[in-house]
Amino acid sequence: MDKKGKVAKFIILFVLVLIAEYIFLYLLPRGFEMLQRELTAKVLVAVLSILGTQAVATGDTIQLGTNTLKIVYECTGGFAFFIFSSAVLAYPASLKKKALGQIIGLAGIFLLNLIRLVAISFVMLNNPSLFDFIHKYLWQVTFTVIVIFMFILWVEKWGAE
């Protein structure tokens, strides 16, 4: 198969795997998504506490000083992981290498997302006027670029047959 054919096959598989992952997510009990959001909130509060910042999580809502952060699904890193996961599963590599990619990707995206949440929490506390820009634009682009870089790194290190 020529290079264009391989790229087309990868893109088609990527889209199909992504659709399958979303169907799987949709079929999970609704409580699963809430559990993800609550876990994200609790981990964030624990890290903020370690860093000397007082915060309280009630469900998926965090009280941070006089401000409130609501953790929605997009705040869990789940979407970014689905994109990464779909790319790894669609790429031609052994099952062992794909499994390694899933594990490394999940851990990396979880850590990256936690750093993102801590950073925007500090922005909210110290310069709330910048919160929307940092949250909606800067971190969205940064997160996306890093996830793409993670996939490229996986391909270079472990993905190639």
- What's the full length of the chain, in residues? 161
Q: What is the pLDDT of residue 150?
A: 95
**Residue spans of beta strands (DSSP E) within the chain:** 56-58, 61-64, 67-70
pLDDT cut 90: percent of the chain above it: 76
- Per the structure block, which two tokens stand in for 9? 């096959």
Lowest mean pLDDT among 25-29, 116-120, 126-130: 25-29
Q: What is the pLDDT of residues 18-73, one digit of tens each?
A: 999 889 888 888 788 889 999 999 999 999 999 999 999 999 999 998 999 999 98
- Per the structure block, which two tokens stand in for 36? 């993800």
pLDDT cut 70: percent of the chain above it: 99
Phi-psi region at 22: left, alpha or beta (left = phi > 0; alpha = psi -120 to 50): alpha
Assign 1 a pLDDT band (cuts: 50, 70, 90).
confident
Residue with tokens 């949250």: 135
CA distance 150 to 28: 27
For residue 37, count other CB atoms closer than 10 A to its CB.
21
For residue 24, count other CB atoms closer than 10 A to its CB.
10
Q: What is the pLDDT of residue 161?
A: 62
Q: What is the pLDDT of residues 138-156, one digit of tens each?
A: 988 999 999 999 999 999 9
Backbone angles phi, psi at 64, to 5 degrees: -130, 95
User: Residue 119 above 70 pLDDT?
Assistant: yes
What is the residue-averaged pLDDT of the chain?
92
Q: What is the pLDDT of residue 160?
A: 67
Q: What is the pLDDT of residue 146?
A: 93
